[in-house]
Amino acid sequence: MTIRVPDKMKGIPMINRGASVIPDNPVKQTIYQTLVPKAILDPPIHWYSGRIWAPAEEQFIPLTYPMPGCSEVHMIWWDTVSNMANWNNTNQWAKAYRSPKIECGVAQTIFLENDALFADIVLPACTQLEREDFSYEGLPFAMGRGSDVGTSWRSI
């Protein structure tokens, strides 16, 4: 069986071939990644916003977890991430993952990373070499040289 890609999709990285309409996310509560252990173990926590590429005014917005009227975290889904290897205070991450507040943990990863050892369910994920195009995070030029924009890089 051959899957044909419509002409209008050729040259568009796989990561950008999703839905034509992106729905609004009903979830308004977020936790800054490095504050996850503290949020689970010692709520409420407070910090100031600030996203990459966001307007400068956003860095002055105070945030609280849990937000008034919202519940605390009950489930964690790890998506190819290893917080315990990449962030400080590994013991706090382990305590947070073991917290009775966390009812379920799901890890989606290509490796059995430290965090995945705490998951109740481990799901396989494909590597970049198993995707339709050989690229890095859907960016066709990342594997190329300078201004090359090809999406069919071959691994030999």
SS3 40: helix
- Which pLDDT band holds residue 146 (cuts at 50, 70, 90)? very low
pTM for this entry: 0.67
% of the chain with per-residue pLDDT over 70: 67
For residue 98 the two structure tokens come to 């073991």
The domains located in the chain, with CATH, are: 29-125 (3.40.50.740), 127-156 (no CATH)
Instruction: Round to whole Å and give the CA distance between 154 and 156.
Output: 6
- pLDDT for position 120: 95
